[in-house]
C-alpha cells in the first residue's frame, strides 16, 4: 500500500510539472518554481487516491495535512526534474520503466473494472449476511465504572485496606460513585472518564477484572476489591447487554466492500489467465530453468 501511495505521489505530481497548462480553476497553481508546479487538480487527485474515502472530508479540513501534501508533491516534482536533467543509468531506466508499467497496469485494471458488468453488490452482501448470520452476533457486554487504588508506591496490604474502605463507602451510598472516583481513584484517565469504562465484551480486560465485571447481575451491583497488576479495583455495574444479532446496516459497508474486492480479484485472475494463454505467447522453459539453477541476482 505504501509503495502504491508513493507511486501515486509520483504520478500526480508529474501531472503538474509541465509548463504552459491552461489556467482553468482546476489547473490553477498552488505552488510553482520554474517549470515545476502543483495545481489544485493535482492535490484533489492525490487526496482521492491516497486517502480512504471516509477520511477525505476530515483531510480537507486539516490545513496542516493539506500543506504537507502540497509540499510533498512539489518536492517529488523538483526531484523528478533533477533526474530528468541528467542521464539515467541503465539500471535506473529499468526501474523507471518498471514503475511506469506497474502504474499503467493498475490504471488498466481500474479501466476494466469500471467497464465490467457488475452484480448487485448490496444484494450479494445481504445474502452473505443471511447465510453466515452466526458471524454477525454482538457478544454479551457489560458497562462498569471503577475506582482504582494503585499499588505503585504502596505496600500491598495498605492498598487492599484502602480499597476495602472505598468499597464500604460505595455500599453506604452517602456519596455518589463519581465523587468517590474523583476523591480516591488513582486511574490516570479517571479525571476524563469519571471512572466509566464503557461497554466491553469478554477478552478485552484483565481476566480477574473481567470475571468480576461479568459476575455482576443488576445495575448498581458492586464488586471488589479486585486485584490486577495495576492495584485494587472497586467495580459498579452500569448496564448489561445480552448477545444479539448485529443489524445488517451496521455491517453493510464492510460486506459490500468485501464483495467488490472479491469481484475485482476474480476479474484480475481471469485477466491474468487470459494474458497467460494469449495466442503467440512464447515461454522459454529452458531459459527459466537455467535462471533458477544459477540463482544469480542481477545487480547492475
Q: Which domains does the chain possess? A: 2-86 (no CATH), 121-131+246-294 (no CATH), 137-245 (3.10.50.40)
What is the value of pTM for the model shown? 0.62
What are the grid coordinates assigned to 133, written together?
Answer: 448470520
Q: Which of 221, 214, 215, 224 is nearest to 237 (CA)?
A: 221
Q: Which residues contact 151 (CB under 8 A, 6 or more apart)?
A: 159, 230, 231, 232
Q: For position 21, what pLDDT does the model report?
A: 43
Q: Euclidean distance between the first and final Cα of the chain, in Å?
A: 27
Please say if the pLDDT value at position 272 is more than 90: yes
pLDDT in tens, 3-12: 444 444 444 4
Q: Which of 13-27, 89-103, 159-173, 274-288 has the lowest mean pLDDT?
A: 13-27
Structure confidence at residue 23 (pLDDT): 52
pLDDT at 185: 93
Could you tell me the CA-to-CA distances from 176 to 25, 131, 145, 169 in Å, in that order? 60, 48, 12, 9
What DSSP string runs through 50-118?
HS-HHHHHHHHT-HHHHHHHHHHHHHHHHHHHHHHTSPPPHHHHHHHHHHHHHHHHHHHHHHHHHHS--
- Region 18-43: mean pLDDT is 78
What distance in Å separates the CA atoms of residue 17 and residue 42, rounded to the nearest whole number?
10
Distance CA 213, CA 221 (A): 10
Residues 162 and 43: their CA atoms lie apart, in Å, by 59
Average pLDDT, the chain: 88
Assign 17 a pLDDT band (cuts: 50, 70, 90): very low
Amino acid at each position: 500500500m505504501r509503495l502504491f501511495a508513493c507511486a501515486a505521489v509520483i504520478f500526480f505530481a508529474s501531472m503538474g510539472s509541465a509548463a504552459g497548462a491552461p489556467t482553468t480553476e482546476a489547473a490553477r497553481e498552488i505552488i510553482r518554481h520554474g517549470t515545476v508546479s502543483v495545481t489544485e487538480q493535482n492535490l484533489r487527485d492525490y487526496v482521492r487516491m491516497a486517502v480512504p474515502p471516509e477520511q477525505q472530508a476530515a483531510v480537507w479540513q486539516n490545513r496542516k495535512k493539506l500543506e504537507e501534501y502540497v509540499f510533498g508533491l512539489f518536492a517529488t516534482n523538483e526531484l523528478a526534474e533533477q533526474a530528468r536533467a541528467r542521464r539515467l543509468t541503465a539500471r535506473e531506466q529499468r526501474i523507471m520503466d518498471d514503475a511506469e508499467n506497474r502504474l499503467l497496469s493498475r490504471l488498466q485494471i481500474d479501466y476494466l473494472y469500471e467497464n465490467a458488468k457488475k452484480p448487485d453488490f448490496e444484494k450479494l452482501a445481504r445474502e452473505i449476511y443471511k447465510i453466515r448470520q452466526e458471524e454477525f452476533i454482538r457478544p454479551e457486554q457489560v458497562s462498569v465504572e471503577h475506582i482504582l487504588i494503585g499499588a505503585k508506591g504502596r505496600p500491598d496490604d495498605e492498598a487492599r485496606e484502602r480499597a476495602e474502605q472505598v468499597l464500604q463507602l460505595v455500599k453506604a451510598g452517602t456519596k455518589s460513585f463519581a465523587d468517590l472516583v474523583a476523591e480516591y481513584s488513582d486511574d490516570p484517565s479517571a479525571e476524563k472518564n469519571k471512572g466509566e469504562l464503557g461497554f466491553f465484551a469478554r477478552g478485552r480486560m484483565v481476566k480477574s477484572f473481567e470475571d468480576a465485571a461479568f459476575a455482576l447481575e443488576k445495575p448498581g451491583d458492586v464488586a471488589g476489591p479486585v486485584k490486577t497488576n495495576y492495584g485494587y479495583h472497586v467495580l459498579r455495574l452500569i448496564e448489561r447487554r445480552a448477545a444479539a444479532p448485529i443489524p445488517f446496516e451496521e455491517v453493510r459497508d464492510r460486506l459490500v466492500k468485501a464483495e467488490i474486492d472479491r469481484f475485482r480479484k476474480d476479474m484480475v485472475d481471469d485477466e491474468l489467465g487470459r494474458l497467460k494463454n494469449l495466442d503467440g505467447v512464447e515461454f522459454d522453459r529452458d531459459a527459466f530453468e537455467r535462471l533458477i539453477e544459477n540463482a544469480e541476482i542481477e545487480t547492475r
